[in-house]
Amino acid sequence: MSYTFNAEIRTEVGKGSSRRLRRAGKLPAVVYGKGKEPMSIVLNHKDIINIQLNDDFYTTDLTVVVDGKEVKVRAQAMQRHAFKPMVEHIDFVYA
């Protein structure tokens, strides 16, 4: 199964801006990999929350559409809230 998400480039980084994004229903994430520039992005939390429950989310290549370009990535790490059903941050690697 393939998953496709729309994302935006994140210009503000840091704890305060990440908290503002989470309050607005967004999810901060980063895409990195060997030989390529790291890219900070913002996803919609509602797009990720149900899909990340599937096992193949972590093992298949995902497609992130950033500014009209498709980028193939894999989920590397995910930080979840301690007791709420909420994802706080995702690390992706280039596939």
- Whichever domain contains 42, its CATH number is 2.40.240.10
Does the structure show a pLDDT above 80 at 77? yes
The pTM of the full predicted model, rounded to 2 decimals, is: 0.89
Q: pLDDT tens across 13-38, in order?
A: 899 999 999 999 999 999 999 999 99
- Count: domains in the chain: 1
**49 membership: H or E segment, kind and range:** helix 45-49
Domain span holding position 41: 3-94
Quick count: other Cβ atoms within 10 Å of Cβ 41?
22
**15 membership: H or E segment, kind and range:** helix 15-23
State residue 59 phi and psi, 5-degree precision: -115, -10
For 79, the token pair is 């930080």
pLDDT value for 39: 94
State residue 18 phi and psi, 5-degree precision: -65, -40
C-alpha distance from residue 41 to each of 1, 6, 17, 33, 37 (Å): 23, 10, 12, 14, 13
